[in-house]
Amino acid sequence: MVNTVAQLKIAVKPILKNAGVKKMSLFGSFARGDHHDDSDVDMLVEFAKPVGLFSFSDLKNKLEQKLKRKVDLVSNKGISPLIQRYIDQDKVNIL
């Protein structure tokens, strides 16, 4: 199981590049460093090109398998400005 941001970066970079991800950021408890063994990983993703639901779901599944944690994957296009403000408070860029 991945437990640090540094471990996570190493683990997910190949998956992100293969999926056509342009930018990826962590937010939430994992980004703040106050996560627990049962915490999920909150990720904000921006793709280089538009992707469909199946590609988005496939990326989420691959990340969960690699990290051995539940992943909440959010598209940068689906975030309201109000929520974006909270994400930006603890956002850590991965890619």
Predicted confidence band of residue 18 (pLDDT cuts 50, 70, 90): very high
Task: Tell me what pLDDT residue 46 has.
Answer: 96
CATH of the domain at 27: 3.30.460.10
The mean of the pLDDT values for the chain is 95
Domain that holds residue 31: 5-93
Per residue in 20-60, pLDDT tens? Answer: 999 999 999 999 999 999 999 999 999 999 999 999 999 99
Which residues neighbour 43 within 8 Å (Cβ) at sequence distance 6 or greater? 24, 25, 26, 27, 63, 71, 72, 73, 74, 94
Looking at the predicted structure, is the pLDDT value of residue 1 above 90? no
Task: Tell me what pLDDT residue 32 has.
Answer: 95
What is the number of domains present in the chain? Answer: 1
55-75 per-residue burial string, b: 16 or more CB within 10 A, e: under 16:
eeeebbebbeeebebebebbe
Per residue in 52-89, pLDDT tens? Answer: 999 999 999 999 999 999 999 999 887 888 889 989 99
